Amino acid sequence: MSSASFWNVIYNGLRIGGNIITLPLALRMLPANEMGLFYTFGAVAGIAMFMDLGMGATVSRQATYIYSGAKHLTSSGIPESTEDGKTDIGLFSRFVSTVRKIYTIIGFITGLLLIIPGGIFISKSIIASGMSAHFIFAWIIYACAASHSLATGFWSNFLMGIKEERLSAVIGVYAQLGYILVVIIGLVCGIGIWSYTIALLVSGVSQRTISKYYFVLKSKVSDYLKADFGMLKVFWPMSWRLWIVLISMYVFQKASVIISSKQLGLEVTAGYGLALSLFSIVYQVTSTPLFVAYPGISRLRVMGNYVGIRSIFLKRLYCSMAICGLALVGIIFIGPYFLKLAGSHTHLPATPLLLMAALFFLCDKHQGEYFSLVLSENQNPFIIPYAMTAVLSIALMALGATYWGLFGLILGQGVSQTAINNWWVVVRGWKGLEISKEKNKT
């Protein structure tokens, strides 16, 4: 129970499933249109993911390299390391200070975008559904909380970068438990969707404060040095490429909910959003063994240990795929009965639609893990295929929703991914495992 994998399973289960844990109560307390609005909140706030500008994964990976003894930062490839693997505290301190200031700027800009353009979109949905204007103020607080989480989330990544994966997960678990507690209290007190808004703010502030405290304590690194924005020249080349990819991933994951709320209405979006939430928790929980392994894989890259990388990655990948598939089948065939027992006002889509969505979801999970594997090489060859898929996905989802409703929406998203990313990314991932080179050596 003391392993990083155990705590990360719990953390990711709570992070994605916190809303699922509170779901029975929410389904009883909230009407379908308010549930649909909540899922729309999450979809629009997802803009924060790509306002990260691709910095998150790059920063976390560079932190791992520096802590493992890298002599300097490098824009691509694996940096040269010291013989004894000793951390350059001065380099690390400048790096932390620079990242902190960059994310402060990013968080502020994201908040403005969520509150103004995002607020206009949310307001139109609220007015069209005849809901109270106070939901607009709930959105403003929700947007501020999402922006704060973006601007300070790097402290958790830094903890993972210094081999404190378990501590990072434990802090996350307690923050998410606080989130769940606030939501339950709010729903019982009858404040509705405001429960989720306040909970997001409370959990984000607490996780940031505790993560920063322990990072400084354990790393002896200061974040108060003068920022060295020259470092941007090193990690920006990888970051902007990842940014393009993240925008594309936002389209795959969130745009379908926005299109649904606009073209199919909030009640249909409530059921569709519920299905995506259940699928997402399965994805996060089953991907946790790989998620906690990526910092170690990055360290093995520095050492050139491809046998170790393959041993870790392949076993965990296909075990997680099998468990994910079984869990999705359970959601599809057992989930509706639990919703009926809970007296839910929101219902899952029809079984054939869920089966189709689950199949596409499994394919996306498979290529998504290979995507993360390739990023551990400090390489990002995904810009063109992901951008092409994003454009194709929006066009097909909008067209499909117009003519065939939810069936067309799901089909449009799945076909666009299957046409390009679901096979090409896997091929590129296999190449990075260096299997062919080692066969030639033997």
The C-alpha atoms of residue 31 and residue 227 are separated, in whole angstroms, by 49
- For range 60-85, the mean pLDDT: 72
Asked if the model's pLDDT at residue 144 lies above 60, the reply is yes
- From the DSSP assignment, how many helices (H) and strands (E) are in the chain? 20, 0
Among 2-6, 9-13, 39-43, 209-213, the range of highest mean pLDDT:
209-213
Centroid of chain to Cα 368: 11
Structure-model confidence comparison of residues 84 and 214, the more confident one: 214
Strand partners, 70: 81
In the structure, what pLDDT confidence band is assigned to residue 50 with cuts at 50, 70 and 90? Answer: low
Q: What is the pTM of this model?
A: 0.65
- For range 47-68, the mean pLDDT: 73
- For range 1-29, the mean pLDDT: 73
Q: What pLDDT shows up at residue 360?
A: 94
Cβ atoms of residues 299 and 276 within 8 Å: no
The C-alpha atoms of residue 113 and residue 147 are separated, in whole angstroms, by 10
Cβ atoms of residues 158 and 295 within 8 Å: no
Q: Pull the structure tokens for residue 418.
A: 């299957």
Among 33-42, 130-139, 243-252, 410-419, the range of highest mean pLDDT:
410-419
Cβ atoms of residues 201 and 148 within 8 Å: yes
Per-residue pLDDT of 297-348, as tens digits, reads 877 887 778 888 888 899 999 899 999 999 999 999 998 988 888 777 778 9
C-alpha distances (whole Å) from 399 to each of 7, 64, 305, 363, 392 are 42, 44, 47, 22, 11
At 286, which amino acid appears?
T
Per-residue pLDDT of 108-117, as tens digits, reads 999 999 999 8
> Closest Cα partner for 362 from 283, 301, 273?
283
CA-based max dimension of the chain: 71
Q: What share of the chain is helix, strand, coil (3-state, %, to 5)?
A: 80, 0, 20
Least confident range from 215-219, 249-253, 353-357, 418-422: namely: 249-253
Q: What pLDDT shows up at residue 442?
A: 46
The C-alpha atoms of residue 320 and residue 108 are separated, in whole angstroms, by 37
Looking at the chain, the whole-number percentage of residues with pLDDT higher than 70 is 89
The C-alpha atoms of residue 185 and residue 177 are separated, in whole angstroms, by 12
> Closest Cα partner for 42 from 139, 113, 107, 176?
139
Place of tokens 């491809």: 306
Cβ atoms of residues 245 and 257 within 8 Å: no
Place of tokens 């929406």: 409
Cβ atoms of residues 422 and 366 within 8 Å: yes
> Closest Cα partner for 18 from 332, 201, 194, 278?
278
Q: What pLDDT shows up at residue 412?
A: 92
> Closest Cα partner for 238 from 74, 87, 30?
74
The C-alpha atoms of residue 97 and residue 227 are separated, in whole angstroms, by 5
Per-residue pLDDT of 388-424, as tens digits, reads 888 888 899 999 999 999 999 999 989 988 888 889 9
